[in-house]
Amino acid sequence: MIKNTHPRRIAREAVLQALYASAMTGEDSEKILKDVFKRRSYEPDLIKYITDLFESAMDNKEWCEDQIKSRLNNWEFDRVALLDRLLLIVAISEIYFIEDVPPKVSISEAIEIAKIYCNEDSSSFVNGVLDNVYKTMPSGTKEKN
């Protein structure tokens, strides 16, 4: 049975893959995006979404990492699995810098993607960090819903 996946889920997975490629190769962001778009065809609105989310994640990577670090209790950032870190960067970027996505959707999507790509404890870890991010968002950042 083929399951229909929401286009935005596919886009988030593409951004995660692009961030992983960047972390592994150090290639130019433009080249990485071109490679992403060569592997699969996307509708124009999804291309824009992938590009915006990837660029937001790359431009704000250090800030997002600081958000993660400040929420780790008794755990070193360097010990967090790379895919978990990258997925958190995607979600935090989406929460803070992509206007038309409610934070709870970003959190839910990150948890579901963690169940697919990360280890068995990752979804709980991602949920905990992102829940804390959501609860501590400055008022007026994005409408909490």
**CATH number reported for the structural domain that contains residue 16 in this entry:** 1.10.940.10
Domain extent for 127:
7-135
* Number of independent structural domains in the chain: 1
What are 23-42's pLDDT values in tens digits? 999 999 999 999 999 999 99
Q: How far is CA 18 from CA 11, 28, 115, 128, 141, in A?
A: 10, 11, 19, 24, 27
Say yes or no to pLDDT of 46 above 50.
yes
In a domain, 2, yes or no: no
Confidence category of residue 137, pLDDT binned at 50, 70, 90 = confident
C-alpha 53, offset from chain centre: 8
In a domain, 125, yes or no: yes
In a domain, 143, yes or no: no
In a domain, 141, yes or no: no
In a domain, 119, yes or no: yes
Say yes or no to pLDDT of 2 above 50.
no
In a domain, 145, yes or no: no
In a domain, 61, yes or no: yes
| Residue 88 CB contacts under 8 Å (≥ 6 apart), including other chains | 64, 68, 110, 126, 129, 130
How far apart, in whole angstroms, are the C-alpha atoms of residue 135 and residue 144?
9
How far apart, in whole angstroms, are the C-alpha atoms of residue 79 and residue 36?
28
pTM exceeds cut of 0.75: yes
In a domain, 78, yes or no: yes
